[in-house]
Structure 1
Amino acid sequence: MQVLPGNNRSALNDVIAARKLKPNHLKAIIRGVLCHIELKNYSQAIAWCDEGLQFEPKEKQLIELRAKADKQKRIEERNLRKSKLKEKKDRVQAEALLKAIRERKIKVFQPQELSSQNSDSDDDDDNKEDSRILRTLFDGINSENGIAVHLDENGTLNWPVLFLYPEYEQMDFISAFHEDTRFMDHLSVMFGENVPPWDTEKKYKPNNLELYFEGEQREDLFLVDPMCTLRQILSHDRYVVKAGNPRIIILVRDSSFSKEFLAGKKLQVS
C-alpha cells in the first residue's frame, strides 16, 4: 500500500474515521501506520502496530512496519541526544570565547541592524549583547567554512586576520593568527624568500613596511609596531574588530603611494 507524499495528514484523518466505525479494520490500521511513519510520528506508528497485532498477531506487514518504526524512533532519539550535546558544547565554547574577549578588553563592532533586530527580544540586555557579538564574530570572511576566532586548548585566541595592501588592492588572509604571535613573525615568512607575484618591484620587505589600523570611524590611522603581538593591538583602546576579522593596512615606508595614502589622515601612534 502506497501513501502519496503530502497526503499523509488527510489520509490519516480518513483511517482514524474508518477505525471509529471498525477498530480492527486491518487495512486502515496498516495505512495509518504508514502515514505515521511518513509523518515521523514513530511512537504513534508503534502504538498502531501493537493495536493491530492484538487482532492479527502474525500479520507480517505489521511486524515489519513495527520494526521499521522502532528503528527510526531510536535513530531520531539518538540524533536528538547528539544535537542537545552539541548545543551544550557550543554554548560552553561561546561563553568561554566571550569571557576571553572581555578579559582582554577587546571591542567588537556591532552593526546597527543587529541591534534593531534584537530590540523586541525578551532576553535581558546582556544576552542581547552576547548574541550580537557572536553573530559579528562568526560572520567574517570564510566564516561559512568554519574559519572564525576560536580558543585553542591552551586558552589563547586565534583570529582570522586580513593584511591589506591598498597600493595593489591585494590582501592576505591568515586563518588562525595566534594572539601572542608578533606581526613581524608573519611578515618575515610572507615577504622573506618568496616574493608575492603582485610585488613586481620587490619593494615589500619585512623591515621596509609600515603597519596601520583604522579607528572605528575610519578617520584616524594608528601606526603599529611590527614587534607587537596581535593581542596587544586588539586590546588597544582604539581598536575595534569589525565583521569578525581584525584588519591591518600595510604600506611601504616613505613610498610615493604611502605618502599619498596617508595624506589627510589623522596619524596616531598606537
Structure 2
Amino acid sequence: MAESAEDHEADLDAFLDKFRGPQRYEGAFSPETWEQEFDKIPMFMKKAPSEIDPEQHPDLACLQSIVFDEEQTLEEQATAYKNEGNDYFKEKDYKKAVISYTEGLKKKCNDQELNAVLHTNRAAAQFYLGNYRSALNDAVAARKLKPNHFKAILRGALCHMELRHFAEAMIWCEEGLRINPKEKKLLETRTKADRLKRTEERDLRKAKLQEKREGSQKEVLLKAIKDRNIKLSPLSSVDDSVMSAGLAKISLDGFSSESAIGAKVCLDENGNLTWPVLFLYPEHGQTDLISAFHEESRFIDHLMIMFEELPPWDVEKKYIPSELELYYEDEEKEEIYQIDTQTTLLQVLQHQRYFIKAGTPTFLVLVKLAPFSKNYLSRKKIHRLK
C-alpha cells in the first residue's frame, strides 16, 4: 500500500507539472490583449461591426444566420430586423437603425401592424438624423396602414413643425388629441404651431403691405424721373429719335431706386430728387460717394466741400477745386463729355446723351492740364456739354 501511495503521489506531481511552466492551454487569452480578445466574443461585444465578414467573425455570422434564418416566415424576419433596429435606436445609432427598419420593410410581410411600426420607428430614426421630409413620409405611410397609429401621428406632427408647416401640424395634433386628449407633447405642439402660424400670417400681411407701399412710392418716383426726361439705362439703338421715344417704355419691372452701393434716389416733400452720385479719380484709382446730391445743387459746391482738405492720396497736392475738370463717358458712342462745374446735377442728367446706370450717376474727375489727364483724354473724342 505504501508503494501504491507513493506511485499515486508521483503521478499527481507529474500532472501538476504540466501547468507550472510558461506553456498555456490552447486558445487562452493573452495577458496583454485579453480585453480586445474578449470583445471579439459575440456575447460580450460592446458594439457590433457594421459589416460582418464570416472569416473574421465566424461566431457572429453564425448567430446572424440563426436570427435571420431564411426558413423563418417573413413576419419573423421582419420582426427580427425591427428588434435589431430598436437596439441600434437605443444606442443612438440612428443610421444603422434606419437600415435595419428598411430591411424589415423589404420583407413585405402581411402583418400591417408590424409594417406600420417599422415605418413609425424609421420615422423616429430619420427625425433624429434631421431628415424631416423622409420622417414625415414614413409617418404618412404608417397611417395609411393604420390610420389611428398614435406614435405615427405624434411623429408626423413634430415633422410638420420642423418643416414649418404650422397649419398641417395643428391638424395632426388635433387628430392625435382625439385619440389621447391629455398627451402633453401634442398639446404643447398645437399651442406652439398656432402661435407660429399667427406670427407667420402677420409677417406676411406686413410684407404685402410694405410691398404695396413701396410699389406706390416707386410709381411716384418713376413719374418724377420721367417728367424730367431723365434716362435710366442705355438703349440698344444710337438713333436719337428712338432714344427719346424709348423713355416712355421705362416701367417698374426694370426700375430700381437703389444704387449698387445701397444709397437710393429719393423724392423729397417738395418734389425734388436727390441722387447718390459717384466720383471716380482714374489717376489714383480712388472714388467718392455723395449719398444725397440734390438735383438743383451745382457740382462746384460739392467739390469745394470735398476738397476743403486735400485727400491723403493726393501727395502732389494738385486736387484743388478750381483746377478740376468733370467728365462723363458715353459708352455707346465711345465719346466723353466735359461738364461745366457751375452746372447743376439736373442739367447734366437731362442731357440727351446721359444715361444713369445702376441708379447712380457717375462722373470722372481729372486735374486740368496734368500729364495723366492729357494722356487719358488723348484717346477720347471730347464734347463740351451744352
TM-score, structure 2 normalization: 0.58
C-alpha contact (below 8 Å) 1:213/1:222 kept by paired residues: yes
Correspondence for 1:121: none
Find 1:38's aligned residue among 159, 162, 170: 162
Distance 1:169 1:55 in 2: 73
- Aligned residue for 1:27, secondary structure, equals helix
User: Helix, strand or coil: the match of 1:241?
Assistant: coil
Question: Contact (CA 8 Å) 1:168, 1:198: kept in 2 or not?
Answer: yes
Letter in 1 for 2:139: V
Contact 1:216/1:240 (CA < 8 Å) preserved in 2? no
Kindly provide the CA deviation profile for residues 194-223 of structure 1, in whole angstroms up to 9, marking residues without a partner as x.
Answer: 111222232222222222222243633222
The residue correspondences of 1:97-116 to structure 2 (distance < 5 A) are 97-110=221-234
The answer to which structure, 1 or 2, has the higher relative contact order (CA under 8 A, 6+ apart) is 1
The Cα offsets for residues 110-165 of structure 1, whole Å up to 9 and x where unpaired, read as: 587xxxxxxxxxxxx957x543343xx6463x2xxx22333344433222212222
Do 2:279 and 2:362's aligned partners in 1 also have CA atoms closer than 8 Å?
Answer: yes
Q: Say whether 1:182 aligns with 2:301.
A: no
How many Å separate the matches in 1 of 2:145 and 2:379? Answer: 87
Matches within 5 A, 1:81-96: 81-96=205-220
SS of the aligned residue for 1:221 comes to strand
Structure 1 residues 214, 53: CA separation in 2 closer, same or farther (over 3 Å shift)?
same
Provide the secondary structure at the position in 2 that maps to 1:46: helix
Taking structure 1 as reference, are residues 252 and 16 closer, same or farther at Cα in structure 2, changes over 3 Å only? closer
1:7 is displaced (CA, Å) by: 3.4
Q: Which residue of 2 aligns with 1:268?
A: 383
Given candidates 348, 364, 382, the residue that maps to 1:249 is 364
The answer to whether the Cα contact below 8 Å between 1:110 and 1:133 also exists between their aligned partners in 2 is no
Q: For structure 1, which runs of at least 5 residues remain unmatched after alignment? A: 113-124
Structure ranking higher in strand proportion:
1
C-alpha root-mean-square deviation of aligned residues, in Å? 2.7
For the residue of structure 2 that corresponds to 1:108, the secondary structure is coil
| Percent of residue pairs bearing the same amino acid type | 53
Q: 1:60 to 1:190 in 2, by over 3 A?
A: same
Structure 1 pair 5/231, CA: closer, same or farther in 2 (3 Å)?
A: farther
Q: Deviations over 1:6-52 (max 9, x none)?
A: 53333333333433454433222211211221222211211222222
More helix by share: 2
Alignment equivalent of 1:164, drawn from 270, 273, 280 = 280
- Residue in structure 2 matched with residue 231 of structure 1 by the alignment: 346
Instruction: Assess, with a 3 A threshold, how the Cα gap between structure 1 residues 44 and 169 changes in structure 2: closer, same or farther.
Output: closer
TM-score w.r.t. the length of structure 1 is 0.80
Unaligned runs of 5+ in 2: 1-123, 237-247
Alpha-carbon distance in 1 for matches of 2:366, 2:150 = 80
**Number of aligned residues:** 250
